Chains A and B, each alone.
Chain A
């Protein structure tokens, strides 16, 4: 039989993988990790972040790099597979020995790589709105914390005279935690508990511990829920806080529009829908509904105009394999990724070193700022960034019309239990 040859094959395969990967480290470059899903379900969102990071690196390299060294990106694919994220993070930190990593989108991917970053003392910049309740020494959160997104959105709706809030989301940690915080916040603002829709979860003693309606990922049938919202909104002054993730928004909004509910009667404030997602949504059904982010493509500023112009020009000539060139937009996670690169650069230059401990110390000093397309960003002592927050109304062309700006909101990752509900 061929067992012998198979064995040799097996052994040589083993040897090949086990052989140390000795890449000649160029003295004039600094390795920087990019850890996003370029395949699988999350690729739709995360590929854009890879693109904007590559753009930022090219932009910095064209101006001489960081501390005289050119950035050498090491791009790895997490493939929407959470154990793989941890594996790739290990590879970046232990094999490639990158100075910093930009990456992750979902909370679970961040949670999965966190132990690796803490063990190997790496530095991760995380750019996507998240649930807070976390403050790792090895992560800089350029993302919106709950008080930089959900709370301003609710404030806006309260000021708008809304009295009934229906909470709906996909069943994962971001909506769950956000709604928990919102429940406390709304109660503290005097909204009676029966005016909070979606369902309440109680503990054994009957104390309300969570609120909201949750659907699984990729849920497609929203008939029942929309019927419930319709009843909920029948008495007027109602609104919906929507933390449904990605795909499921299409059936939700189609059902919502078909049932005769409109943005004027019952606006939906969506916390997970940005311009990038609108590319694949029939925006006709969304006109007038709200979004809340630290950046909108429609921000009218010099920095934003330049960013958009340069990014689109870069896309035209980009040689990154498989990059999408047509119909591109910019959105908050992209810009916060981009800001992260410049914040890191500023910190490295101030520290005069790529050493993680030194860079972190500088970052936490509260003096590292970057005037980005979204306005001024400052890294605060709690590893989160202070930045502007905007409320926008969706327009038919998939852009937002900015209706309200909250200037320089201080990040508060630990919100739960801080409102002292009545």
Chain B
């Protein structure tokens, strides 16, 4: 990774940003439906969701690609962000729900007479928007503090993050948590006074997602240029040497972990009004693992890779679950195994790898024979 941004990279970045932010929504808003350049409302909505997933992928890459931490629970933070905004959206349904009652529907049929106290502040949008940031951050900070303090690392850390998301998933499935149980939140009507069913609102959400992705990308890119980024990578490569050099590696890891959680939370909050539902199945361990596949396939440690991976794998999934549903898991699993075995740097690394394939192979075989 270059230590400074080249003009070319800046140019490409700006072009991509412009394309995502202006061209696509413009084609959606200003071309007639019959035009071959028209982007349908359906596609805008779908791509908005893909961009949100890309943001999660970037956050995973920040952890894995740059700091060497594999979190098998990143979708937990995504869901927490989603739930935080979802609570606001639920309260804004008002009397438009099935029961024509101010309470969210699921509370009515579970027999709650009044709104639980912890729900009340979420009627305020800004409180919810803030909760999208701090709820994942607090959970990540507590867990991270405990984990990094006692120097839990490697597979132990991964397994514990998996246990964390599994426990949260079980908890959210419980109807008694007043989070809608298995059904989660759905049937949203308005956001900030705009009808969610309105194509313009969906376009706005798409633009917000694209903007968030660009900001997150820029932030992470900037981080890699700073001294902080260098320490981060040093931790990845040899934590003990970093420790002996007098850096508090645990604090660096904690900061990155919390930052990644916040980024995922934002992604979740943007995803929920576009997907129209949030429920605990998003916290299932397999969902987080799938997100890791995006990063692995796209190429970790490259920032661009995760975005390509998230979009690419999800597009592939959309196609494959339709065309070859019976073979989709084999394809996904096989792809993952092959990428891990033969292309640790994913799509982005493949071109590089092709060049040095010969060299690598001889080195690799040496390594194996040494064992």
Closest 6 CB pairs of A and B: A172-B182, A209-B111, A83-B275, A119-B197, A2-B351, A112-B277
Task: Evaluate contact between B328 and A39: CB separation under 8 angstroms.
Answer: yes
Tell yes or no: B19 within 8 A of A by CB.
yes
C-alpha gap A20/B329 in the complex (Å) = 28
Residues of B within 8 A of A91 (CB): 42
Bound-complex Cα distance A176 to B188 (A): 23
User: Does the CB pair B325–A322 fall under 8 Å?
Assistant: yes
Please, which residues of chain A bring their CB within 8 A of the CB of B328? 39
Indicate whether B38 reaches chain A with its CB closer than 8 angstroms.
yes
Q: Most chain-B CB neighbours within 10 Å: which of A87, A114, A135?
A: A87
Q: What's the nearest-Cβ distance from chain A to residue B285, in Å?
A: 12
Task: Find chain A residues with CB under 8 A from B46 CB.
Answer: 17, 87
Which residues of A line the B interface, CB within 8 A? 1-7, 10-11, 13-14, 17-20, 38-39, 76-77, 79, 81-84, 86-87, 90-91, 94-95, 107-108, 111-112, 114-116, 119, 131, 133-136, 171-173, 176-177, 180, 201, 203, 209-210, 214, 216-217, 321-322, 416
Tell me the bound Cα distance from A131 to B110 in angstroms: 12
Chain B residues lying within 8 Å of A38, measured Cβ to Cβ, are: 321, 325
B367 within 8 A of A: no
Q: How far is the CA of A87 from the CA of B81 in the complex (A)?
A: 21
> A95 to chain B: which residues have CB within 8 Å?
40, 42
Whether the pair B43, A18 counts as a contact (CB closer than 8 A) is: yes
Asked if A135 and B182 make an inter-chain contact with CB atoms under 8 angstroms apart, the answer reads: no
30 inter-chain pairs at a CB distance below 8 angstroms, sorted by A residue, are A3-B304, A6-B308, A7-B12, A10-B16, A13-B311, A13-B315, A18-B40, A39-B325, A77-B321, A79-B325, A82-B277, A83-B277, A87-B45, A94-B40, A107-B182, A111-B277, A115-B186, A115-B197, A131-B109, A134-B98, A136-B98, A172-B181, A172-B182, A172-B183, A173-B183, A176-B181, A177-B110, A180-B110, A214-B175, A216-B174
Kindly identify which residue among B12, B36, B98 contacts A3, using a CB–CB cutoff of 8 Å.
B12
In the bound complex, do residue A90 and residue B24 qualify as a contact, i.e. CB atoms below 8 Å apart? no
Any chain A CB within 8 A of the CB of B102?
no
Q: Give the residue of B47, B111, B197 whose beta carbon is less than 8 angstroms from that of A210.
A: B111
How far is A177 from B47 in the complex, measured between Cα atoms in Å?
36
Set of chain A residues within 8 Å of B184, measured between Cβ atoms = 82, 108
Please determine whether A216 and B315 come into contact, CB atoms closer than 8 angstroms. no
Known: A6-B304, A108-B183. A171 touches B197 (CB 8 A): no
Chain A residue with the shortest CB-CB distance to B355: A2
Q: Which of B8, B98, B347 touches A133 (beta carbons < 8 Å)? A: B98
Contact assessment for A10 and B276 in the assembled complex, using a CB-CB cutoff below 8 Å: no
CB distance from A45 to the nearest CB of B (A): 15
- CA–CA, A114 and B186, complex, Å: 9
Given contacts A7-B12, A13-B315, A210-B110, contact A94 B41 (CB under 8 A): yes
Identify B182's interface contact among A39, A114, A173, CB under 8 A. Answer: A173
Contacts of B308 in A (CB 8 A): 6, 10
| B38:A20 contact, CB within 8 angstroms | yes
> What is the CA–CA distance of A178 and B364 in the complex, to the nearest angstrom?
61
Closest chain A residue, CB of each to CB of B169: A216
User: Which of chain A's residues have a CB closer than 8 A to the CB of B40?
Assistant: 18, 20, 94-95
Partner of B276, one of A7, A86, A136, A171: A86
Contacts A6-B308, A94-B41, A180-B109; A81 near B276 (Cβ below 8 A): no
The distance from the CB of A415 to the nearest CB of chain B, in whole angstroms, is 10
CA distance A172 to B47 in the complex (A): 31
- Residue among B8, B16, B39, B312 with the most chain A CB within 10 A? B39
**Chain A positions within 8 Å of B77 at CB level:** none
Question: CA–CA, A141 to B196, complex, Å?
Answer: 26
Instruction: Give, as a whole number of angstroms, the nearest-CB distance from B291 to chain A.
Output: 14
Q: Mark B20-55, 1 if CB is under 8 A from A, else 0.
A: 000010010000010010111111011101000000
For the complex, give the distance between the alpha carbons of A322 and B12 in Å. 45
What residue of chain A has the Cβ atom nearest to residue B287's Cβ? A81
**CA–CA, A112 and B108, complex, Å:** 18
B106 within 8 Å of A (CB atoms) = yes
Query: Inside 8 A of A87's CB, which chain B residues have their CB?
Result: 45-46, 49, 275
Write the nearest CB–CB distance from A32 to chain B, whole angstroms: 17
Given A82-B277, A133-B98, A180-B109, do A76 and B38 touch, yes or no (CB 8 Å)?
no
B341 an interface residue at 8 Å Cβ cutoff? Answer: no
**CB proximity of B101 to chain A, nearest CB, Å:** 12
User: Which residues of A are found within 8 Å of B311, using beta-carbon distances?
Assistant: 10, 13
Across-interface contacts of B196 in A (CB, < 8 A): 115
Contact B276 A108 (CB under 8 A): no
- Chain B residues whose C-beta falls within 8 Å of the C-beta of A119 in the assembled complex: 197
Residues in chain B near residue A94, CB distance under 8 A:
40-42
CB distance A171 to B36 under 8 Å? Answer: no
B348 at the A interface (CB under 8 A): yes
Q: Are B110 and A18 in contact (CB under 8 A)?
A: no
Given contacts A6-B308, A108-B183, list 6 more A-B pairs with CB under 8 A.
A3-B12, A13-B311, A83-B275, A133-B109, A172-B175, A173-B181
The answer to whether A173 and B106 touch across the interface, beta carbons within 8 angstroms, is yes
**How far apart are the CA atoms of A20 and B33 in the complex, in Å?**
9
Chain A residues lying within 8 Å of B109, measured Cβ to Cβ, are 131, 133, 173, 177, 180, 416
Complex interface: chain B residues within 8 A of A112 (CB):
186, 276-277
Distance A129 CA – B47 CA, assembled complex (angstroms) = 35
Chain B residues near A77 (CB, 8 Å)?
Answer: 321-322, 325
Closest partner residue, chain A, to B324 (CB atom): A321
- In the bound complex, how far is the Cα of B324 from the Cα of A322, in angstroms? 10
Q: Chain B nearest CB: distance from A180 CB in Å?
A: 6
Among candidates B43, B47, B170, B348, residue contacting A6 with C-beta atoms closer than 8 Å: B348
The listed residue (B111, B181, B326) touching A322 by CB distance below 8 A is B326
Taking the closest CB of chain A, its distance from the CB of B130, in whole angstroms, is 25
CA distance A38 to B324 in the complex (A): 11
Give chain B nearest CB distance to A133 CB in angstroms: 5
Question: Could you tell me the distance in whole angstroms from the C-beta of A413 to the nearest C-beta in chain B?
Answer: 10
How close is A114's CB to chain B, nearest CB, in angstroms?
A: 6
Whether A111 pairs with B197 at a CB distance below 8 angstroms is no
Chain B positions within 8 Å of A177 at CB level: 109-110
Nearest CB in chain A: distance from B320 CB, A: 10
Query: A209 CA to B110 CA in the complex, in Å?
Result: 8
**Residues from chain A with Cβ under 8 Å of B98 in the complex:** 133-136
Known: A39-B321, A322-B326. Is A108-B279 also a contact (CB below 8 A)? yes
B293 → A minimal CB distance (Å): 15
Distance (Å) between the CB of A375 and the closest chain B CB?
A: 30
Decide if B36 touches A19 in the complex (CB within 8 Å): yes
CB contact between A108 and one of B39, B182, B188, B322 (< 8 Å): that residue? B182
Asked if residues B322 and A7 are in contact (CB atoms below 8 Å), the reply is no
State the CA gap A38–B328 with chains docked (Å): 11
Contacts of B106 in A (CB 8 A): 173
Are A171 and B173 interface neighbours, CB within 8 A?
yes
Chain B residue with minimal CB distance to A116? B276
Q: Which B-chain residue is minimally distant from A106 (CB atoms)?
A: B182
